[in-house]
Amino acid sequence: MEELPVWATQVIDEFCRHLSLERDRSAHTVRAYRSDLIAMLQAMVARGITRIDRIALVDLRTWLAAQRRNGSASTSMQRRASAIRTFFDWARRNQLVTIDPAAGLKSPKIPRRLPRTLTRNDTAELMVAVLDAASIDETPAGARNVAILELLYSSGLRVSELCGLNLGDLDRERNLVSVVGKGNKQRAVPVGAPALDAVDAWCTRRGEWVTPSSGAALFLGRRGARIDPRVVRRVVHEAMRAIPDAPDTGPHGLRHAMATHLLEGGADLRSVQEMLGHASLATTQIYTHVTSQRLRQVFDQAHPRA
């Protein structure tokens, strides 16, 4: 790809500072938007466009269409369109462009697929398997991994939320965990007794890994720093392999399972929305399709006139 000229690099840097400092977007979002904008501006430079105010809507649509032809997923396409719209809205407000070329840019629709999820039996087997593994692990990792899996399934936390937990975030008197979710929004989520017991067991071993860099982090890596999301994902994927025929959906699969099993057990949709930290009820409603699908399967198998 074309090397970015100085003006393009500078404007991307300024925009990313705006995202981080003024809009309080996560480091992950800033990195993703930076990558998308670098790729877009490289394509513009390759087309002979050497000024940001020379970029037109047709140029942006052409670039996105090329991304689609190259096999980009709908979710990636939607994020790129969002990055472009946010960028040019900022550029217009900062008088870098007089007309926003991305104002008419639409995001591709993402097909709403039913998430594959673990059954109740799958999750029970998963917890037994990870407890068995912990019983023969002489290091603190075994206890930590049990606590991670129990807490992910019990409370439906996102990986980033779990990694951000501190020792004081668990309220054992009320069986709640305080979570900082997307957009720095705080919520209190119920925690089951098995998860609290697992966290207590981990905390008795946590001191073996504590270093000056540990701070108040609840979960630590082997070197004592706050645990990295990649480690959590690896822990979950390794545990999933112990369950034959279960979908290896990773940490987010435990979040899906928690929501699905709550609704199957009679929980109302609004409560599940609050526990998951969804800004919109529409995001939570996909789980009603999962439970409805299972009800349909039971009906088809059991009803004499199905």
- Secondary structure (3-state) at 118: coil
| Active-site position among 47, 68, 252, 294 | 252
| Active-site position among 80, 85, 153, 287 | 287
Contact 19, 30 (CB under 8 A): yes
130: which DSSP letter?
H
| Active-site position among 80, 255, 256, 261 | 255
According to DSSP, the residues that pair with 178 across neighbouring strands are 188
Whether residue 185 lies in the annotated active site: no
Short-list 141, 114, 121, CA closest to 244: 121
Whether residue 303 lies in the annotated active site: no
| Active-site position among 158, 206, 256, 261 | 158
| CA pair distance 95, 305, nearest whole angstrom | 67
**Taking CA 222 as the corner, what is the angle to CA 202 and CA 247, rounded to the nearest 5 degrees?**
70
Contact 152, 164 (CB under 8 A): no
Whether residue 28 lies in the annotated active site: no
What pairing do the DSSP bridges indicate for beta strands 176-180 and 170-171? antiparallel
Q: Where are the beta strands (DSSP E) in 181-305?
A: 186-190
| Active-site position among 18, 47, 182, 205 | 182
Whether residue 158 lies in the annotated active site: yes
Whether residue 33 lies in the annotated active site: no
Give residue for tokens 């840019």.
Answer: 105
Token output for 220: 């630590």
| Active-site position among 187, 233, 237, 278 | 278
Contact 53, 96 (CB under 8 A): yes
Q: Where are the beta strands (DSSP E) in the chain?
A: 170-171, 176-180, 186-190
Q: Where are the beta strands (DSSP E) in 85-180?
A: 170-171, 176-180
Cα-Cα-Cα-Cα dihedral sign, residues 97, 75, 272, 188? negative
Whether residue 237 lies in the annotated active site: no
Q: Report phi then psi at 190, rounded to 5.
A: -65, 150
**Taking CA 24 as the corner, what is the angle to CA 23 and CA 26, rounded to the nearest 5 degrees?**
125
| Residues annotated as catalytic (active site), given as ranges | 158, 182, 252, 255, 278, 287
